[in-house]
Structure 1
Amino acid sequence: MLLFLKCCISGVFGDEVKSVSVMEGDSVTLHTDITDRQRDDHILWTFEHTTRLAEIIKRDQKNFMFVKNDGIFRDHLQTNSQTGSLTITNIRTEHTGRYKLHISRHYIAYNCFTVIVYAHLPVPVIKRNSSDCSSSSSSSSSNCVLLCTVLVLNMRDVSLSWYKGNSLLSSISVSDLNIRLSLPLEVEYQDTNTYSCVLNNPITNQTQHLNITHLCQMCSGQQLCKRH
């Protein structure tokens, strides 16, 4: 999967919004932007407003640290004792949510991060649309109806598209659904153009190229063979 990270910052850190995209299984670091830890710094990270993930308290040049090591975050969290930054390793879809940083020193500041993790995409499958490969009634040319399909499970913001070369022919999009997507395409059996079916989300894609010769063959009598 991928991860989309949006940082909404308030307090002395200004109104800048930072973003980064990461696949599921990668690591992402949420930065505090602190370069000089001070004597009485208190840094607290929380998830979904209530779950305490990590805490660093500095007293008389000594660091007192807590890092959560159970539940969905077991073996996934690392904290930098010098900067207070939080790293999520081997990130999973269940780590999607809102992360909040509370910094208390001679001022109080908050950073909030909305993290969205994207799953790895499957490769779409191109097949004949049942037996819909038949002679065209409108011309002497024979057309073949194809179907690009893919099962979308626990994924968000995905699109399934047909391309002719680099030109988009058609597309269908869904968000946060478990569903089988299907997109038809009609071509002439002798068509020599390059077609591909692409499944994508905001940061990655999977492509299946169409082999017209393999899926749509001409038989005697200007009829198309039925291949299964």
Structure 2
Amino acid sequence: MKHADVIQWRFGDENTVIAEINIWSDRITVYDDVLDGRFRDRLKLDNQTGSLIITNTRAEHTGDYILQIKRESEIFRLFVFDVLKSVSVMEGDSVSLNSDTEMKDDDVIQWRFGDENTLIAEINVTADRITVYDDVLDGRFRDRLKLDNQTGSLTITNTTTEHTGDYKLLMISGRFSSKSFRVSVYDSVHCCGPTEAVIRLVLSALVGVATVIIVVYEIRSRRAE
């Protein structure tokens, strides 16, 4: 930062300025009212490093953040996931996670699993390619994943309890979209009756609604011409 006059953070396809540091005047400015106020009272800038902190994130903060320092720029692609849906399934059954969308010609769809956000399945529409990663996570998904090439929805067949966890859907080309599911797979031995199943499902849903996951998907650098 010591060689820069002005540091700017910009957001989205329109490169809207959302925050700025002017080194010479020792002034930090955040633009709360841009983009319908979605960043109001949520932005903090570190005046030593120029780092940007976004607090109380929501799905509408998903997108590209551009750090501009002189002629250098760095892009951070941020996905914010709110667990919207909890799904309960009995061990051995299949479960479908629906994207509720139709894919576009330039879409890349990714499904990721767990705290490590491990890539388990992907569709590249432009290349007309569907890939499932059978060997990740000790092969727990081997021969169990199916992708719908029209919608990007994911089906997990012959489920086991080790498939319990969070599944994240990313649309990372053309437009940004993200969605998350919390899947609970119950062992038939321990799921004794319909009443218990309903109670567990409700509790799972309550936990799901309260959980927010943030993933920085891609970081890359480029020199502005």
TM superposition score normalised by structure 2 = 0.48
Higher helix share goes to which structure? 2
Which structure's relative contact order is higher, taking Cα pairs within 8 Å and 6+ residues apart?
A: 2
TM superposition score normalised by structure 1 = 0.48
